[in-house]
Amino acid sequence: MSKRGVRPKGVLHRAGQPPVYYECPVCGFLTADTSFGTGDVTCPSCGAERDGRRIFPPERLRRLDARIRRYHSDGESEIVVILVATFLETLLEDILARIMESQGASLKLRASVLDTQRSVGQRLGRLFPTLTSVTFEDSAAEEGFRDFPKRWRALRASRNAFIHDSAFEAPIQNLDTRTASEAMALLDQAYRLFVHLNNRFAIRPDVVA
Ligand SMILES: [Zn+2]
pLDDT tens-digit map of 140-188: 999 899 999 999 999 999 998 888 766 666 667 778 899 999 999 999 9
Which tops the pLDDT comparison, 148 or 13? 148
Ligand 1 center to residue 205 CA distance, Å? 10
Query: Ligand 1: distance of its center to the CA of 99 in Å?
Result: 15
pLDDT band of 50, cuts 50, 70, 90 = confident
- Ligand 1 centre to CA of 122 (Å) is 31
Q: What is the 94 CA–ligand 1 centroid distance (Å)? A: 18
pLDDT score for 6? 43
Q: Is residue 10 over pLDDT 60?
A: no
Q: Give the per-residue pLDDT at 112.
A: 97
The model's confidence at residue 5, banded by pLDDT at 50, 70 and 90, is very low
9 C-alpha to ligand 1 centroid (Å): 18
Which residues does residue 55 pair with via DSSP β-bridges, in sequence order? 22
pLDDT of residue 15: 57
Task: Report pLDDT for 167.
Answer: 63
Ion ligand 1 neighbours (CB, 5 A) are: 24, 26-27, 29, 43, 45-46, 48
CA distances from 99 to 76, 81, 198 (A): 34, 27, 7
| Distance of CA 182 from the midpoint of ligand 1 (Å) | 34
How remote is the CA of residue 109 from the centroid of ligand 1, in Å? 24
With contact defined as beta carbons under 8 Å apart, do 50 and 69 qualify? no
pLDDT given at position 162: 86
How confident is the model over 110-122, as a mean pLDDT? 95
Question: What pLDDT does 165 receive?
Answer: 64
Give the closest residue to 84 by CA, choosing from 154, 14, 138, 141: 154
Query: Is the peptide bond between 129 and the residue preceding it cis, with omega within 30 degrees of 0?
Result: no
**Residue 176 contacts by C-beta under 8 Å, 6 or more apart in sequence?**
77
Assess whether pLDDT exceeds 60 at residue 207: no
**Residue 56: strand pairing partners:** 21
At 104 the pLDDT is: 94
What integer is the mean pLDDT of 71-99? 95
Mean pLDDT of the chain: 88
| pLDDT over 90, % of the chain | 72
**Residues composing the chain:** 209
Nearest to 82 by CA among 149, 193, 188, 162: 162
